[in-house]
Structure 1
Amino acid sequence: MTGWDHETDLLVLGAGAAGLTAALVAAGEGLSTLVAEKSEWVGGTTARSAGTVWVPGHRQLADPRADLAEAARYLDALVGDRGRRDLRTAYLRHAPEALDRLRQLGIGFRHTAGAADYHPEVPGAGVGRALEPEPFDGRRLGRRAFGRIRRPVREFTLLGGTLMLRRAEADQLAAVFAGDTVRAAATAARLGLRWLLDRVGGYPRGTRLTMGNALVAALYERLRATSADVWFTAHADELIAGERGRVEGAVVHRRGTVSRVRALRGVVLACGGFAANPALRARYLPEPVAQFTPAVPEATGDGLRLAQAAGGALGAPRDDNAMWFPGSLGRRRDGSTAVFPHIWDRAQPGVVAVDRGGRRFVDESVSYHRFVRAMYAATPGPAVPAWLVTDAAALRKYGLGMVRPYLPGAALRRHLDDGYLRSGRTGR
C-alpha cells in the first residue's frame, strides 16, 4: 500500500484511560505512538467516572495467589458460558502485572480495603479487589495541559464543579452534621485553602484532582514525557486493510485535513461506547430505551462501527450491552440538564425503590448495574421509570440525588418547584 501521509508504530484511537494506557505502555517500550482524540480534551467518560479498577490478586492483598483462585471461581459462577473462559483467565493472570507496570510508570492507586465485589452472594466473591486512583496535583501538568483534562460530573463536586474530593473526604465533611466538627473543619480547611490558592492563582478550578480525573491526568502527564504525539479534534472514519485483510492504518480527519496514517504494529480502538448515539441505543438496548447519559457526547460508537467494518462481530444480543446505572434528571442553576448517577445514595437508610404502581422491585443496595437489570425485569412490566421514595428525616440527614444533606429550605423548595422532588403526606 502506498500513499501514506503519516507513519507510526502504534495508532491509538481515543484518549480515555484505555487509550492513554495503551499509548503510555507502547511509548515506554520504545514504540513510536500516535493518539487521535475526537475532542479537545483527554479523559473521555473516564474523566467523569470514579476511575476505580478491579484487580484480583494485587500485591496489597494479604494472600494474592489465594485471591486469584477465588476470583476465578467468582467469575466462573457469575459469567458461566456467556463469555470465553480463556479471556477472563488471561485477565486474572495479567491484571496484577499490568497494575505493577503502571505503578512503575508513575500511575498510583489506593487500596480500597473495604470495597466488596458487586455480587457478594456469588461463590468466590471478595473484598478489597478494587483500587482507586491516587489524587493528582494538576499543577504538575502546567496551565495549558491542565486545561486539556475533561471536567468531571459537576454533581460529584463542590463549589460549582470547581472542587473535587474523594468519597472518604465527602464523608468527613458530612461528619459536621453528626457533631464531629473537629474532623469536618480540618478537612474543610485543608481542601478549601488549596482550592482558594488555585483560584487566586488563576486556575479555572481546583488543581487537586481525584477519581477518574486523577487517573487521566496522571496518564497524560506521563505520556507527555515520552515521544508520543496526541492529535486533538481528530477522528478516524475508516480502517485501512492490506491485501490479506490485516489492518495497516486508518483514515484520520483532523482540522479539515485528511491523513492516511500507517500503523506498523497495530491500531488500538479505544473510542468508548455508543451511549451518545440514539440509533445504536435503539438497536442494541432493551425497551424502553434509555434517552439520557452522563457519558461524553463523543461516545457515538466509532469503535464499534470501525471494528464491524473490519470483520468484527458482536455476540448474541443480551441484556448487558451497556454498563447500567439508575439516573435522575435535574436542572442546574444555569439551566443545563444534569443526569445524576445514583451510585451510592440508594442504599441509605430510609430509601425504597418502587415502580410506577408503588411496588418495591429490588434490594436498593445492589450494584448500579444489577439495579437497572431489576428495573427491566420487574413485573408486571419494566419499572422504567422508577421512583426512589424517602421521608423528610432521611432526606435531611442523607440527601438523595441532587438534593444535598441538610439543605436549606429555599434550596429544597427549588427542587420541589422544578419537579425534581415530589412531596406528599404519609399514607394512613
Structure 2
Amino acid sequence: MSKQPEAQRRAFLKGAGAAATLPLLGATAGAQANAPQQPWDREVDVVVVGSGAAGLSAALFAHEAGANVVVLEKGPTVGGTTARSGGVHFIPNNHLLRASGTTESKEDFLRFIVRITYPASYHPDAPRFGATEAEYALLETFYDEAAPAIEALEQMGAVTYMPMLDHNHEPFNDNFVELPENRCPRGRSIVCVPESIEEGRFYYNGGGGLGVDLIHLLRKATAARRIPILTRHAVEDLVVNGDDEVIGVVATTRKGTVRVGARRGVIFGSGGYLHNPAFRRTYMRTPTYGGCGIPTNQGDFLRLAGGLGASTGNLDQGWWMEVLLEEAIQSSDAPTGVWVVPGDSSLMVNRYGKRFCNEKNQPGGRPQTHFVWDPVAVEFPNRVSMMIWDKRAVELFGGIYGIQKAGEPLPKHVISGTTLAELADNIASRLTTVAQHTGDMTLDPNFTTNLQSSVEQFNQFARSGKDEQFRRGEAQGDIGWHYYGGVPKVDNPYPNELMHPLSDQGPYFAA
C-alpha cells in the first residue's frame, strides 16, 4: 500500500467519512497478515463498498480529493436502501437554517443530542453533558462535518437541497420539540431537490425529493466523473498486508471471484443486518420481523470487521417502525411499514386489549414500546399489537399504512367484525394461524372486555380533546407525523385533530 503524508491521509479520510457518515476501515490494528499472493484483477486508490447515499457520497468525495475510485455493489441495482427511503437528512446548523436566520451553536446541539441519545447519563452540568469521551467525539464530528459535507455536495453540482416541509408548508418539526434542550425545533430535516417532477408520484410538499431522487442525482454525478459502479459484486473478504493495513477486497460475481486492490483505502457503506436472521436474534432487544432495508443488508461489514478485531457498538438500535405481521412472515423484505397508526378514529392495543402508547408518537420512539418486558408474566406483552379502526377511517384514510381502501375487497391482513366482540373473536382465530411466529401468543381471557373499555375511554378522550393516558396530539411531532407522507387533512369537529371517537356501530377492523 503506497504511503501518503499523514496529514493528507487524515484530511482525506475525514472528508470522506463526514460526507458519508459511514464506518471506515483503512488501517486496522491487530488484523491477521494476509499479504496478496495473486495479482489484482483491478487496482484503484479507493474501493467503496455499497452504492447507497453513503457509498456514492464517499466515492464523490474521494474523487474530488484526487483518488481513482471504484464502487462495488452487492445487489443487482444501484441505490441500496436509500433508493426506497424517504431520503431525509438530519443536519444540524445546515446552510438552509443559517440562510433563514437560525444559527445552531455547537454547544446547543451537543447538549440536545446527548440528552436524547444518552438520557441515562445526561446531566446539563456534567463534562460533555454526561457522555463518554468517545461518544462525545463522535457527536462533535457529526456537528462539525455534516453541514459542510452537504454544502460540498452542492458545490460539486451533485445535489441541491431544500427544507423538508410539513403539511402546512413549514420546515418539518423535530421529534423532540418540547424538550428545553432543543433550541432548534425546526429545520434540521432537509431533502434533495429532484431533477424533475414525475406526474402521479409522491413528493414532499414544495416538490422535495425522496431517496430515489437522491440516488438519481448522486448516480448522475458519479457517472459524470466516470466513477465505475459494479453491481453484483459481493465483497466477501478483505486483504491485509504485513503492516495490518487493508489493501484490497475479494468480491464474488456471477463470473467468479475478483480481487480489487486499494492503494489508499477501503470505505464501507454497505448497510445494516436486517436480513440476517442470526444477527437479528443476537443483537435485537426483542424479536424483529422485517423492515425496509434491501435484501442485501445481511451484516457483511460486521462479519468482515469483526474478523479483523474491530469493535462494534449500538447494534441494538435502529430507526424503528411497526410492520404488518403477516406480510413480514412471508418476507422480511419491505412489509408495509406503519410509521404511525393512521387515521383519527383508530387506536392500538396489546394482547390484553389495552392501549399501551401514544399511537402518533414519532416512529423512532413509539415502536420501542414493543420491547417492554414483563418479568412476572415472562413475556413481551406488546410484542404483537392490534391496530383497531372503524368505517370512518376506511372512508377517509383508506390505503394508508395498512388500512384498506374503501369499496375494495379486504386485504389478507385485515380482520373485520360487525361488533368489537366479534372482532376480538376473529383476532383470536387469526393469531392461531401465526402462533409459531409469535411465541404461541394468544389473547388474554379479558381481551374483549378490555378492548371495549379501551375504545370507550378513547372516545371519551376524543370528545374532551385530551388523551389523559398517553397525551396523543399534544406534541408537535405527533401532528407532523400524523400528516407525514401526504396524509390528507380531514374535517374533525373534535378539539384534538388527531382523535375522533370510533363509531358506535360496526363494522370494525384490525391488523
Q: Give the TM-score, by structure 2 length.
A: 0.64
Deviation of residue 268 (structure 1)? 0.7
Q: Report whether the alignment pairs 1:372 with 2:367.
A: yes
Picking from 165, 174, 178, the partner of 1:117 is 174
- Is the 1:16–1:43 Cα contact (8 Å) retained in structure 2? yes
Distance 1:423 1:72 in 2: 50
Alignment of 1:137-152 (within 5 A): 137=196
Deviation of residue 109 (structure 1)? 1.9
Which stretch of the first structure deviates more once superposed, 80-89 or 220-229?
80-89
Given residue 215 of structure 2, which amino acid in structure 1 is its aligned partner?
V
Q: Can you list the C-alpha shifts for 1:108-161, whole angstroms capped at 9, x where unaligned?
A: 22212432222334333221110122223499xxxxxxxxxxxxxxxxxxxxxx
Given residue 34 of structure 1, which amino acid in structure 2 is its aligned partner?
V
Given residue 65 of structure 1, which amino acid in structure 2 is its aligned partner?
T
Aligned to 1:130: 189
More helix by share: 1
Deviation of residue 422 (structure 1)? 2.8
Which stretch of the first structure deviates more once superposed, 73-82 or 48-57?
73-82
Q: Can you list the C-alpha shifts for 1:162-191, whole angstroms capped at 9, x where unaligned?
A: 95311438xxxxxxxxxxxxxxxxxxxxxx
Deviation of residue 95 (structure 1)? 1.0
Distance 1:163 1:281 in 2: 37
Given residue 239 of structure 2, which amino acid in structure 1 is its aligned partner?
I
Given residue 111 of structure 1, which amino acid in structure 2 is its aligned partner?
P
Picking from 145, 149, 160, the partner of 1:94 is 145
Given residue 74 of structure 1, which amino acid in structure 2 is its aligned partner?
F
Q: Can you list the C-alpha shifts for 1:306-343, whole angstroms capped at 9, x where unaligned?
A: 1111221223x7742x3211111566xxx999611112
Q: Can you list the C-alpha shifts for 1:328-362, whole angstroms capped at 9, x where unaligned?
A: 1566xxx999611112x426422212112111111
- Is the 2:349–2:386 Cα contact (8 Å) retained in structure 1? yes
Q: Report whether the alignment pairs 1:420 with 2:456.
A: no
Given residue 12 of structure 1, which amino acid in structure 2 is its aligned partner?
V
Q: Give the TM-score, by structure 1 length.
A: 0.76
Aligned to 1:226: 225
Deviation of residue 390 (structure 1)? 2.1
Distance 1:127 1:71 in 2: 13
Aligned to 1:314: 312
Deviation of residue 378 (structure 1)? 6.2
Given residue 41 of structure 2, which amino acid in structure 1 is its aligned partner?
D
Superposed CA RMSD in Å reads: 2.8
Distance 1:357 1:120 in 2: 32
Alignment of 1:189-268 (within 5 A): 210-268=209-267
Distance 1:357 1:21 in 2: 47
* SS of equivalent residue, structure 2 residue 336: strand
**Cα 1:398/1:378, change in 2 over 3 Å:** farther
**Cα 1:371/1:238, change in 2 over 3 Å:** same
Alignment of 1:164-179 (within 5 A): 164-168=201-205
Deviation of residue 73 (structure 1)? 1.6
Picking from 292, 295, 309, the partner of 1:294 is 292
Distance 1:353 1:225 in 2: 49
Aligned to 1:26: 62
**Cα 1:347/1:393, change in 2 over 3 Å:** closer
**Cα 1:378/1:354, change in 2 over 3 Å:** farther
Picking from 32, 36, 41, the partner of 1:5 is 41
Distance 1:211 1:15 in 2: 16
**Cα 1:163/1:40, change in 2 over 3 Å:** farther
List, as ranges, runs of 4+ consecutive aligned residues in structure 1 with deviation greater than 4 Å.
Answer: 335-338, 378-381
Distance 1:46 1:292 in 2: 16
Aligned to 1:185: none
* SS of equivalent residue, structure 1 residue 136: coil
* SS of equivalent residue, structure 2 residue 410: helix
Distance 1:53 1:297 in 2: 23
Which stretch of the first structure deviates more once superposed, 254-263 or 372-381?
372-381
**Cα 1:319/1:354, change in 2 over 3 Å:** farther
Q: Report whether the alignment pairs 1:103 with 2:154.
A: yes
Alignment of 1:66-77 (within 5 A): 66=104, 68-77=106-115
Which 5+ residue runs of structure 2 have no aligned equivalent? Answer: 1-34, 119-130, 165-169, 421-451, 457-511
Distance 1:223 1:13 in 2: 14
* SS of equivalent residue, structure 2 residue 43: strand
Picking from 344, 349, 354, the partner of 2:349 is 354
Which stretch of the first structure deviates more once superposed, 110-119 or 266-275?
110-119
**Cα 1:25/1:337, change in 2 over 3 Å:** closer
Q: Which has the larger radius of gyration?
A: 2
Distance 2:197 2:217 in 1: 9
- Is the 1:52–1:132 Cα contact (8 Å) retained in structure 2? yes
Distance 2:255 2:63 in 1: 28
**Cα 1:167/1:239, change in 2 over 3 Å:** same
Distance 1:337 1:78 in 2: 29
Distance 1:376 1:392 in 2: 31
Residues matched between the structures, number: 356
Aligned to 1:182: none
- Is the 1:27–1:227 Cα contact (8 Å) retained in structure 2? no
Deviation of residue 304 (structure 1)? 1.1
- Is the 2:96–2:162 Cα contact (8 Å) retained in structure 1? no
* SS of equivalent residue, structure 1 residue 243: coil
Distance 2:334 2:173 in 1: 29
- Is the 2:236–2:251 Cα contact (8 Å) retained in structure 1? yes
